[in-house]
Amino acid sequence: MDEVLADPIEKFIQLYNRDYGVPLDLQLIPGNEIFEHVPEHAKDKWFEYINEPGFFRNLTPIHGSIDAIRKLQEKYDVYIVSAAMEFRNSLIDKYDWLAEHFPFISWKNIVFCGDKIVCADIMIDDRVKNFAGFNGRKLLFTSPHNLLLTEYERVNNWQEVLDKLL
């Protein structure tokens, strides 16, 4: 979900702006995580933000994701698989967020997990750690933190996903 369907980076920047004056038009350097762009003493703050109830509830959907998932559903069984289990308070927020923005995804097709031990043909993910042990086709969805990786089939946006899969 995060950085593929939903945009937590924008939210992090807003919170770091509010608390530490980080500029709202911050552009992440390729390969960097958000915490590498904030003052030293605020580096761990992201963990507090992300654990706060509501953090995941009002994220902006990634451009084109809603239409793309709807189109992919015409050809594929689409499952939303999120490593939500790391953050207790994210569970209900992510559930409600999906119900709002992706109401056409059935509860049967939602998976909140830690390790992504799913059986599937294709996985679209921004974190290569989630590809570990996955035997299907892996599509690395571009996000600033993964821009320097070259050994994966990359998709830069949802239009490119559709071009490849439809």
Contacts to its own copies by CB under 8 A: 79, 85-86, 88, 91-92, 95-96, 106-115, 117-120, 133
Residue 23 Cβ, how far from its own copies at the closest point, in Å?
Answer: 34
58 closest CA partner among 89, 20, 93, 110: 93
Residue 11 Cβ, how far from its own copies at the closest point, in Å?
Answer: 21
Residue 155 Cβ, how far from its own copies at the closest point, in Å?
Answer: 22
Q: How far is CA 79 from each of CA 14, 44, 110, 124, 141, rounded to the nearest angstrom?
A: 30, 32, 6, 10, 16
Give the largest Cα separation in the chain, rounded. 48
Q: Which CB, 25 or 132, lies closer to its own copies?
A: 132
Q: Which CB, 63 or 88, lies closer to its own copies?
A: 88
Q: Which CB, 91 or 162, lies closer to its own copies?
A: 91
Q: Which CB, 57 or 154, lies closer to its own copies?
A: 57
Residue 134 Cβ, how far from its own copies at the closest point, in Å?
Answer: 8
User: Locate tokens 């070259």: which residue?
Assistant: 150
Q: What is the DSSP letter of 2?
A: B
What is the helix (H) or strand (E) element at residue 108, kind and residue range?
none
